[in-house]
Amino acid sequence: MRTISVVTCFLLLLSGSSISCAASTSSSSQEEVPPPREDVDPSLTEVWEPEPAKIDPGNAAEAPSDAIVLFDGTDLSEWEGEDGPPAWEVRDGVLTVVPETGTLRTKRAFGDVQLHLEWRTPTEIVGEGQGRGNSGVYLMDLYEVQILDSYDNRTYSNGQAGSIYKQFIPEVNASRPPGEWQSYDIIFSAPRFDTSGALVRPATMTVLHNGVLIQNHVTLLGPTAYRGEPEYKAHAANLPLTLQDHTNPVSFRNIWVRELED
């Protein structure tokens, strides 16, 4: 016997058809009832291995126990300058850009990471647009998240605080006033290249600014480019993190990173 659905049967009856569908609809509805699951052992879907490693998450002012602390307020032993020892100032637990002394790079190289850093633009407001409280943090020395005083300072949207510079506008402006501490929490997945140098998987990034999601797992178009469009070129799997000297005395504290597995 041909089986027809309940909906089809209803339409046939409305049209005045003489087809009897009582038996077929009964059969069809019986077939559509999912089998009972009470007899399925729930332990069959329990996964016990591997067991996640236990860490101490710390508090708001501390790094997790499995993090690499890059700056704890005491020294710059994890950093180097462009042409030698770092020249930025460390005072009272705070690291501050000394204008025109060059960027800082980590001595260690990283790929996929969770990065936390806290930053503060100067209380004294000087300049406007890109000239006010400007710095940046570069993942792999190539992919920049902009640091800027964007509390009341209009500039191009893909260059304000929280932007992935010249690529992605932040979903909201979560900036605090100048002189107040702010935080970035960044999840970064490095790009992958094959042995010929061709791109296999682009980089991705998620950014929280002061605890607010502003970049939601965006796919990067390539390394940061000030002029023109970004374009991927094969590079090492691990490269340093960089803090930018953009001639403004921006300050930093509590910088740590967790290396992530693919």
Cα R_g (the chain), whole angstroms = 28
**% of the chain at pLDDT higher than 90:** 75
Longest dimension (CA), the chain: 93
CA-to-CA distance for 123 and 251, rounded, in angstroms?
11
CA-to-CA distance for 130 and 171, rounded, in angstroms?
19
On whether the CB atoms of residues 223 and 77 are closer than 8 A, the answer is no
| 208-220 per-position pLDDT tens digit | 999 999 999 999 9
On whether the CB atoms of residues 114 and 187 are closer than 8 A, the answer is yes
More confident residue, 13 or 194: 194
CA-to-CA distance for 208 and 125, rounded, in angstroms?
25
CA-to-CA distance for 245 and 96, rounded, in angstroms?
10
Cα atoms found within 13 Å of the Cα of residue 262, Cβ hemisphere only = 8
User: E strand or H helix at 29, and its extent?
Assistant: helix 22-32
Per-residue pLDDT at 23: 47
| 147-178 per-position pLDDT tens digit | 999 999 999 999 999 999 999 999 999 999 99
Per-residue pLDDT at 32: 73
Tell me, yes or no, if the pTM score tops 0.85. no
Collapsed DSSP state (helix, strand, coil) of residue 232 = coil
For residue 54, what are the contacts with CB-CB under 8 A and spacing of at least 6?
A: none
SS3 for 177-188 is CCCCCEEEEEEE
* Token reading at 69: 């602390």
* Token reading at 32: 């559509």
Cα atoms found within 13 Å of the Cα of residue 120, Cβ hemisphere only = 13
Domains, the chain, ordered by start: 68-259 (2.60.120.560)
